[in-house]
Amino acid sequence: MKIYLIRHGETMGNSEERYIGRTDEPLLDEEKIRLQNKVIPKVETVFVSPMLRCRQTANLLFPKQPVRIMEELAECDFGEFENKNWKELTDDPQYQEWIDSNGTLPFPGGEDPMKFKERCCRAFAKAVSECFKEKIETAAFVIHGGTIMSILERYAVPQKEFYDWHVKNGEGYQIEILSSLWTSSRREIYQVISEKYE
């Protein structure tokens, strides 16, 4: 099965380097034009995060194609850091503590990063299993940067750290999964075909 993991297009918060998780903001107008001109291979099905920026991106990249909304593919809830950037958080002791933990501590008033990764991977595994059951050979996931990084950190071979899989807005990865390597006892991505799929 060939899968495209695509990060949503750029929003105002992204352009200002803010932590945008549960803030449901739209794409920038100029980003909509850029995405409309992007050439994306046709797929049989599209899985999408419920957030507006992902739904808009999916509609632009895969116009008129029905999508499957999966709540568990939503971005992390950044709690008190939500909609702020590192400059605004520089003097916040909770932020410094989170940075010192290498991003492993729960976000104050928000989500635990480990639980976030777990729900993303659970949703991805469910979607992949549905595709195999339905004999789907090509699929796309229009999701968030953190969601993509969580999936690849867990399943990609060879293994890399979470932040090594960072991807820009509107870009992503093309991956392949073999049914023989996707079982209840062993789940792994056969290969990452191209980094930073454009």
Structure tokens at 138: 């090509």
Domains and CATH numbers, the chain: 2-78+112-197 (3.40.50.1240)
Q: Would the CA dihedral through 193, 74, 29, 43 be positive or negative?
A: positive
Phi first, then psi: what are they for 175, rounded to 5°?
-130, 160
Question: At a CB cut-off of 8 Å and minimum separation 6, what does 140 contact?
Answer: 3, 4, 5, 6, 40, 43, 45, 46, 47, 58, 61, 62
Predicted confidence at residue 183, as pLDDT, reads 82
pLDDT of amino acid 186: 80
Please identify every stretch of the chain with a pLDDT value under 70, giving residue numbers as ranges.
194-198
Question: pLDDT for 102-113, tens place per residue?
Answer: 888 999 999 999
